[in-house]
Amino acid sequence: MAVKLRLTRMGAKKAPRYRIVAADSRSPRDGRVIDTLGYFNPTAQPEEIHLDAEKALAWLNNGAQPTDSVKTLLSKEGILKTYHEQKKANKEKK
Protein backbone atom coordinates (compact mmCIF):
# COMPACT_ATOMS: atom_id res chain seq x y z
CA MET A 1 0.00 0.00 0.00
CA ALA A 2 1.44 3.35 -1.06
CA VAL A 3 0.64 6.06 1.48
CA LYS A 4 0.46 9.72 0.47
CA LEU A 5 0.30 12.80 2.66
CA ARG A 6 -2.27 14.99 0.94
CA LEU A 7 -5.06 17.53 1.32
CA THR A 8 -8.77 16.70 1.56
CA ARG A 9 -11.19 19.52 0.91
CA MET A 10 -13.62 20.62 3.60
CA GLY A 11 -15.67 23.78 4.08
CA ALA A 12 -18.35 25.48 2.02
CA LYS A 13 -18.51 26.41 -1.62
CA LYS A 14 -15.94 29.13 -2.42
CA ALA A 15 -14.64 28.95 1.17
CA PRO A 16 -12.25 25.99 1.16
CA ARG A 17 -10.53 24.54 4.18
CA TYR A 18 -8.30 21.51 3.94
CA ARG A 19 -7.32 18.67 6.22
CA ILE A 20 -3.83 17.29 5.90
CA VAL A 21 -4.17 13.51 5.95
CA ALA A 22 -2.32 10.27 5.34
CA ALA A 23 -4.29 8.19 2.84
CA ASP A 24 -3.83 5.29 0.45
CA SER A 25 -2.78 6.69 -2.91
CA ARG A 26 -5.56 4.74 -4.67
CA SER A 27 -8.41 6.19 -2.58
CA PRO A 28 -10.31 9.28 -3.81
CA ARG A 29 -9.38 12.79 -2.64
CA ASP A 30 -12.17 13.04 -0.06
CA GLY A 31 -12.33 9.29 0.55
CA ARG A 32 -11.08 7.03 3.27
CA VAL A 33 -8.12 8.32 5.32
CA ILE A 34 -5.68 6.51 7.57
CA ASP A 35 -4.69 9.40 9.86
CA THR A 36 -5.34 13.15 10.16
CA LEU A 37 -2.23 15.27 10.67
CA GLY A 38 -3.68 18.78 10.80
CA TYR A 39 -5.53 21.43 8.82
CA PHE A 40 -4.87 24.31 6.43
CA ASN A 41 -7.07 27.39 5.96
CA PRO A 42 -5.96 29.42 2.92
CA THR A 43 -8.78 31.98 3.20
CA ALA A 44 -7.73 33.33 6.61
CA GLN A 45 -5.42 36.33 6.79
CA PRO A 46 -2.69 35.21 7.40
CA GLU A 47 -3.08 31.60 6.28
CA GLU A 48 -3.65 29.16 9.13
CA ILE A 49 -1.56 26.01 9.18
CA HIS A 50 -1.82 23.59 12.08
CA LEU A 51 0.24 20.42 11.85
CA ASP A 52 1.14 17.68 14.32
CA ALA A 53 4.89 17.54 13.67
CA GLU A 54 5.40 14.21 15.46
CA LYS A 55 2.76 12.45 13.36
CA ALA A 56 4.10 13.98 10.15
CA LEU A 57 7.67 12.88 10.94
CA ALA A 58 6.46 9.40 11.84
CA TRP A 59 4.66 9.05 8.50
CA LEU A 60 7.64 10.40 6.56
CA ASN A 61 9.94 7.94 8.36
CA ASN A 62 7.57 5.11 7.44
CA GLY A 63 7.84 6.00 3.75
CA ALA A 64 4.78 8.17 3.11
CA GLN A 65 5.21 10.49 0.12
CA PRO A 66 3.85 14.06 0.42
CA THR A 67 2.13 15.67 -2.55
CA ASP A 68 3.60 18.91 -3.90
CA SER A 69 1.15 21.12 -1.99
CA VAL A 70 1.69 19.26 1.28
CA LYS A 71 5.45 19.36 0.72
CA THR A 72 5.35 23.18 0.62
CA LEU A 73 3.28 23.28 3.82
CA LEU A 74 5.71 20.90 5.55
CA SER A 75 8.66 23.02 4.51
CA LYS A 76 6.93 26.23 5.73
CA GLU A 77 6.51 24.62 9.14
CA GLY A 78 10.12 23.37 9.18
CA ILE A 79 9.14 19.70 9.35
CA LEU A 80 10.98 18.69 6.16
CA LYS A 81 14.19 20.27 7.46
CA THR A 82 13.88 18.27 10.69
CA TYR A 83 13.17 15.10 8.68
CA HIS A 84 16.27 15.55 6.51
CA GLU A 85 18.45 16.32 9.55
CA GLN A 86 17.23 13.14 11.27
CA LYS A 87 17.85 11.12 8.14
CA LYS A 88 21.38 12.55 7.81
CA ALA A 89 22.14 11.83 11.50
CA ASN A 90 20.93 8.24 11.16
CA LYS A 91 23.09 7.77 8.07
CA GLU A 92 26.18 9.06 9.89
CA LYS A 93 25.61 6.63 12.78
CA LYS A 94 25.81 3.65 10.44
Spell out the residues 6+ positions from residue 43 whose beta carbon is closer than 8 angstroms to its own: 15, 16, 17
pLDDT of residue 61: 92
pTM of the model: 0.88
Structural domain total, the chain: 1
Can you give the CATH number for the domain in which 9 is found?
3.30.1320.10
30-39 residues labelled b (16+ CB within 10 A) or e (exposed):
eeeeebebbb
Domain of residue 85 covers: 3-93
Per-residue pLDDT of the chain (94 residues; tens, 9 = 90+): 799 999 999 999 999 999 999 999 999 888 889 999 999 999 999 999 999 999 999 999 999 999 999 999 999 999 999 999 998 998 887 7
pLDDT of residue 42: 94
Q: What is the CA radius of gyration of the chain?
A: 14
